[in-house]
Chains A and B, each alone.
Chain A
Amino acid sequence: MANKSSAIVPSGAKPKPFVTPQRFLVYTVLTVCAVFFLFPLYIMIITSLKSIQEIQSGNIFIPTMTPTLDAWEKAWNSACTGLYCEGVKVGFWNSIKITVPSTIVSIIVASLTGYSMANWPFKFSEVFFTILLLSSFIPYVVMIYPLVIITRELGIYSTLPAVVLVHTIFGLPLLTLLFRNYFASLPAELFKAARVDGAGYWQIFFQVFAPMSVPIFTVAVILQVTGIWNDFLFGVIYAGPTNYPMTVQLNNIVNSAQGGKAYNVDMAATILTGLVPLAIYFFSGKYFVRGIAAGAVKG
């Protein structure tokens, strides 16, 4: 080999041309699908910027030449739900009132449960955990009536605590799984060392595990905030009309037919309702994907 080294001979595989038919096909399929997925977002935005006359006379695909934020203003402040005309802003604040305590309570309960399951198993804890996992598949409507009875007996039906309780209950299976798997993946020596040093259940949780579990808590917060924000059924049933979350408010606005359909206002309200989960999604992409993947890979 050495005496042939002066000549520059091409080595390795033949370089591929920049565009092969195969790559062209791949990018075409990906782009066509991307257009399909982006299309509703585009329609939502351009519709919300039109005036109602333009919607009636114009074309759904074509953006307006004279965009206006009137529909947004109306959707936020004065759109009618059939009961009153205060826009989706009422629902926005209600959703915050529901989401914040529900997220906090459900994560506290689930992280402790997951920690117990992973590190302090007791008799029947595996049985409970298995039932809990299977329960995540129970259709929500099946549980509505029993939960109406339970919340009524607790005296909280149709109030904020009721909806927080229900979100905690239905968030528990997935979150417990998330935390259990995470704590089980931490090195066992860590737990043992803390035990040898005399730390107990709470000390290990707060001083050893919690500080090193920020990523999983982040994933849990993202999962819960988007899930609870997007909930409709529990909000309708347990929150009571004064606490209706944004999704319920949006649905009522779109369905109320007062003075003809205002599609531009409807679409502005729709975007506003989707804005919080979308913002979370765009700013936390990696964690969001991790959250849904963790939920999917069971066991």
Chain B
Amino acid sequence: MDRPNPLFRNLSSKLASLPMMLIVLGVFVGGTLWTVLFSFTNIKILPIFTPKQWMDGFVGLANYKRLFNSDRWMSCPAITKIGQESWQFKCTGAMPNMITYAILAIIIMISLGFLLAVMMDQKIRLEGMFRTIYLYPFALSFIVTGHVWAWIMSPEYGLQNAMRQMGWESFSFGWIADRNMVMYAIVIAGIWQGTGFVMALMLAGLRGIDEDIWKAAKVDGIPAWRTYLQIVLPMMKAVMVTTFVLVASGAVRIYDLVVALTDGGPGISSDVPSRYIYQNFSANLGQSLSASTVMLVSMAIVLIPWIRMEFGKKSQG
């Protein structure tokens, strides 16, 4: 008897998964490879992948050199001395902006989210109402968030103007118009949108912790705040890693929020990598693709803790 061709085993399943396989190979793997490979060429117009085009256009690391020499991408002037004693070291450009945003967003969102989750875990009344309030911004578009905060922070009619009208003449809050402060304005809007989500993840993590741990800590006379910090927090490692990866990957790809809130301004002082790449597609494709590759590497770095955790889980059994 002929053995059935193994290719046709589970045929329906394979057929139904065909769109997924095409997307994985053609778009995700293919597109990534295409981007990385053509970042080493000087192509100008839309090529399809042909090895000949690649060989002809190959310029090695030239795009990367230009990218990192471009002030718009990253400019780290040597440490400058201001005044007698103080020194300043400040990088500007799309990449440092994104890193600034990422670090602040991660620290603030995770600590505030955890704090809120702990408060919500105190058997409070109206828990549902508080959760609804904290989480609703997460349902909104970044474009909506950006425009609301742009209006609130507008130096002309916003918070600053209102405070001055109410008699606080020296009040000053013009972050979105200030080159040095604009990234912090974006952080505020980002926190508003995302903290509720972090809180929801953390709360789920807290609720997943065994009641007996609490009883044991109580019997030992450990105060609640120490139980949270020294016993519960370490037990929530998985939730923390997940949250970190989600917040950090969101920060790496930040785009819409910046477009709506400042559109990269004033000047280009709040530009971010996604926006830089998008703006350079037509004028400077090679550089755009090398910037894309740098973003992919950044994302891979962000994913390391998660991959390590998953891998560690498997190796433990």
Contact = CB atoms under 8 A, between A and B. Distances in A.
- What 7 A-B pairs have minimum CB-CB distances, sorted nearest first? A146-B31, A120-B13, A230-B141, A201-B12, A281-B139, A135-B28, A139-B253
Contacts of B187: none
B79 interface: no
Contact of B256 (A120, A202, A233): A233
Contacts of B139: 226, 274, 277-278, 280-281, 288
Interface string A95-111: 00000000000000100
A232 B10 contact: no
Contacts of B143: 230, 232, 247, 250-251, 273
28 contacts: A37-B133, A37-B136, A37-B192, A60-B162, A112-B17, A116-B14, A134-B303, A137-B299, A141-B273, A143-B27, A143-B31, A145-B281, A152-B46, A169-B27, A172-B20, A172-B23, A176-B20, A226-B139, A247-B144, A267-B147, A273-B144, A274-B139, A277-B140, A278-B139, A278-B140, A281-B135, A281-B136, A289-B135
Interface string B4-27: 001001101110110111011011
B140 A274 contact: yes
B255 A141 contact: yes
Contact of A270 (B20, B48, B148): B148
Interface in B226-267: 242-243, 246, 249, 252-253, 255-256, 259-260, 263
Contact of B259 (A140, A251, A263, A281): A251
A84 interface: no
A145 to B, nearest CB: 6
B67 interface: no
Given A122-B13, A146-B34, A299-B310, A263 B157 contact: yes
Nearest to A135: B28
A204 B26 CA distance: 30
A298 interface: yes
A196 interface: no
A152 B256 CA distance: 24
Interface stretch (B54-62, B99-107, B119-127): B119-127
A293 interface: yes
A299 to B, nearest CB: 6
Chain A contact residues (Cβ within 8 angstroms of B): what range? 35 or more
Nearest to A127: B24
Nearest to B150: A254
A194 interface: no
Interface stretch (A2-10, A24-32, A208-216): A24-32
A259 interface: no
Interface of A: 23, 26-27, 29-30, 33-34, 36-41, 43-44, 47, 55-56, 59-61, 109, 112-113, 115-117, 120-123, 125, 128, 131-132, 134-135, 137-150, 152-153, 169, 172, 176, 200-202, 226, 229-233, 247, 250-251, 254-255, 263, 266-267, 270, 273-274, 277-278, 280-282, 285, 288-289, 292-293, 296-299
B148 A43 contact: yes
Contacts of A147: 27, 31
Interface stretch (B69-77, B84-92, B193-201): B193-201
A213 to B, nearest CB: 15
Contacts of B115: 29
Contacts of B119: 26, 29-30
